[in-house]
Amino acid sequence: MPPPLGQTPGPREPHLGQVSPGPPGRTFEELRDRCLRRGVLFEDPDFPADDSSLFFSEMPPIPFAWKRPGEIARNPEFVSDGATRTDICQGELGDCWLLAAIASLTLNPRVLARVVPPQQSFGPDYQLWQHGQWLDVVIDDRLPTFKDRLVFLHSADHNEFWSALLEKAYVKLNGSYEALKGGSTIEAMEDFTGGVAETLDVKAISQGLSEILRKVLDRGSLVACSIEARNASDSEAWTPFGLVKGHAYSVTGTDQVTFRGRRVELVRVRNPWGQVEWNGPWSDDSSEWRSVDPSEKKRLYHTALDDGEFWMPFADFEAHFDKVEICNLTPDALEGGTLLQWEVAVHHGSWVKGATAGGCRNFLDTFWTNPQIKLSLSKEDGGKEDCTLVVALMQKNRRKLKKFGANMLTIGYAIYQCPGQDGHLGRDFFRCHASQARSKTYVNLREVSGRFKLPPGEYVLVPSTFEPHQEADFCLRIFSEKAAVTQDLDGQVNVELPEPLKPTSRQQETEEERQFRILFEKVDLQISAEELQEILNAVLRNTKNIQFKKLSLVSCRNIISLMDTNGSGKLELDEFKAFWARLKAWTNIFFQFDGDKSGTMSSYELRGALKAAGFQLNNNLLQLLVLRYADERLQVDFDDFLNCLVRLENTSREFPLELGAPLSGQKSHS
């Protein structure tokens, strides 16, 4: 049995603002034992029972009281008669998307047991998948109530609490109850399974949808469906057939029934409201059921209850619903044949304004600066000529950041064939080459995924936002039937510094060098940081085609530190001549990468300019340098460029291992 797709080797990349799954250094068992020893009930310090855990943009409309199950029901139970889809009834929160996912989760006991460990009794321990890793989420059992009734998710059985506590665990992971307003069912499905999502346009599938649904449900996949709301007034509007637009439903089964001598295909759907059902053919009270054998009705669990679940003809399902969302535990759920052991590679990265947030291919000048992942496909699928891939790009933590004004960004990706290409690909490559594959569209959902068949070869995958300069962290998952070699093209650091210039004799000096000698003879053949500052500021202010403010005294001390070979604290003539040659080379590089000849350089060009100067940096280092040296317009002046190079070269000499270079030698490769 293949491991859950969410389990990937190696440590998870740290993430700024990550929710703490529980008090630091304490497991669920340790917390339980500590509370038992003290004779107290656990209170979660990371998710307090107050208004801050409820809303971030408004005050509660009614006074909520946080109560434990024993204060709400006379005989409370964690699970009563098993966890079933009837245990999920929506409360006063617009999170039908989450509830539809929980209802689907109950159809797969093995997956449910991972999310909700069955051995606990009001235990606070849940497991949720986030960006490639399963997290233990620890909560207490205090829940928001009004007049002794649960305000949010609740079970139809008022003394059962597992579903309300699971909702609370998911709320903690995302920051507050308000953060769950509005979403995509597939988002929660992935967090419950670590699976990979695919979205189907019902109207675009000419045939075979019923077989797809039967197959994925048989394989334990979670399935949801919805009717598109064309405008704001359509959202949650009822159709004449009792269906709700812009609302998430769970697909809980498919079957066939004999009716008047012919077989009719049916699909079972559930409304997480726990009420409001389809009222057309084969609805709970429809006349069709009166012609069905009682044994068939029993097999199909047909009941005429207003519990939110109903059967409907498959033809009507196709006519009324627009979208089906499927969360596959393995990517072959939509394919024929036997289950496969899929290979998965996970890459974490960031789009940072001014450095790696280049936008889509429409923005050629910056598109090439996006993170790039090299993909080597060497083995075809068994018996086929192509290699099957499922690529899933997920933006991280946007829901948790809603309280700071963050929304889902519009994201997508493109795949380019690049035989014989090494290193980060530049602008010219993308100007001359079209993509071999790409996401169907750029969309403002948490994840965009797609299935592709590509011939064996070398490829580069470029994830991006649609617009440039938009910041987010992302997780990229690549599933393949055969092992694919992936490499982050922006993860290498390579420092290749020029050999120091040999001093020229007086007879070989140029006219410029003779002028330097005259100057140095006036100051005892060496200059201090203050004198260097005066010289460089005077020269650079008069240099055409660069915007220059002023070199600080600290910058000049850094230059002396870089070039001072004998530890005198000053620059001698030969040291100054070596620096002057370096300065002219750096000036030419600056001119080369000042594309619009404005006298400043776009921070997106910093990667190429630094590489020309001998520094190939990874994305983390590049992002730090942009934060330090670019202005609010994402421009780098020449003095900042000079300071950056001096700082980098000093660091590479003094702390070579920290920058990625070996300890000795002028030319180096990491």
- Asked if 221 and 327 count as a contact pair (C-beta separation under 8 A), the reply is yes
d(C-alpha 28, C-alpha 96), whole Å = 29
Query: Is the pLDDT score of 9 beyond 50?
Result: no
Question: Is the C-alpha dihedral spanning 357, 361, 364, 367 positive or negative?
Answer: positive
Query: Predicted confidence band at 26 (pLDDT cuts at 50, 70, 90)?
Result: low
The CATH code of the domain that includes 413 is 2.60.120.380
User: Both 200 and 181 in a single domain?
Assistant: no
Helical axes 573-593 vs 638-654, angle rounded to 10°: 120
Residue 292 within any structural domain of the chain = yes
Q: Which CATH number fits the domain that encloses residue 311?
A: 3.90.70.10
Q: Considering the chain, what is the average pLDDT of its residues?
A: 85
Cβ atoms of 508 and 574 closer than 8 Å: no
More confident residue, 339 or 404: 404
Domain co-membership, 205 together with 252: yes
> Does residue 504 fall inside a structural domain?
no
Separation of CA 503 from chain center: 53
The answer to whether 451 and 366 have CB atoms below 8 angstroms apart is no
Contacts of 554 (CB under 8 A, 6+ apart): none
Q: Are residues 172 and 274 in the same domain?
A: no
Considering the domain boundaries, does residue 668 fall inside one? no
- Are residues 234 and 91 located together in one domain of the fold? no
**Per the residue annotation, which of 89, 108, 174, 271 is the catalytic one?**
271
Regarding whether 136 and 46 lie in a shared domain, the answer is yes
Is 383 within the bounds of a domain? yes
Q: Judge residue 286's burial from the number of C-beta atoms within 10 Å of its C-beta, 0-12 exposed, 13-18 middle, 19 or more buried.
A: middle
Examine the fold and report which residue of 328, 361, 395 is the final residue of a domain before the chain moves on. Answer: 328
247 has catalytic annotation: yes
158-167, 251-260, 376-385: segment of lowest average pLDDT: 376-385
The average pLDDT across 140-164 equals 93
**Domain containing 484: what range?**
342-491
Cα atoms in the Cβ-side hemisphere of radius 13 Å centred on 524: 5
**Are 172 and 72 in a shared domain?**
yes
Q: Answer with the one of 171, 192, 213 that is the final residue of a domain.
A: 192
How far, in whole angstroms, is CA 464 from its chain's centroid?
11
Tell me: the pLDDT tens digits for 411-423? 999 999 998 878 8
Are 241 and 151 in a shared domain?
no
Write down which residue in 162, 192, 222 finishes a domain: 192
pLDDT confidence of 37, banded at 50, 70, 90?
Answer: confident
Nearest alpha carbon to residue 325 among 478, 498, 190? 190
Our CA angle for 521, 526, 531, nearest 5°, is: 100
Q: Are residues 180 and 210 in the same domain?
A: no
* 32 and 165 fall within a common domain: yes
CA-CA distance, 224 to 101, in Å (whole number)? 7
Predicted confidence band of residue 446 (pLDDT cuts 50, 70, 90): very high
Q: What is the dihedral of CA 517, 498, 649, 351, to 10 degrees?
A: 140
Both 53 and 80 in one domain: the answer is yes
261 and 396 share a domain?
Answer: no
Q: Which of 131, 154, 247, 302 is catalytic?
A: 247
Task: Note if 108 is an active site residue.
Answer: no
Beta strands (DSSP E) in 554-645 are: 571-572, 601-602, 615-616, 635-636
Split into its structural domains, the chain has a count of 4
Q: Flag whether 209 is in a domain.
A: yes
> What's the CATH code of the domain at 585?
1.10.238.10
Residue 507 pLDDT class (50, 70, 90 cuts): low
Provide the residue count of the chain: 670
Average pLDDT in the 105-112 region? Answer: 88
> How far is the C-alpha of 588 from the C-alpha of 112, rounded, in Å?
62
Spatial contact of 603 and 355, defined as CB atoms under 8 Å apart: yes
Instruction: Say if residue 220 is in the same domain as residue 140.
Output: no
The pTM of this model reads 0.83
191/212 Cα distance (integer angstroms): 23
Could you give the CA distance from residue 668 to residue 670 in angstroms, rounded to a whole number? 7
Residue 373 CA to residue 463 CA, distance in Å, equals: 9
**How many CA atoms are closer than 13 Å to the CA of 545, on its beta-carbon side?**
11
Q: Does a structural domain hold residue 7?
A: no
Range of weakest confidence among 319-323, 444-448, 534-538, 626-630: 534-538
* Catalytic one of 96, 360, 387, 418: 96
Query: What's the pLDDT at 670?
Result: 30
615 lies in some domain: yes
Query: For residue 6, is it within any domain?
Result: no
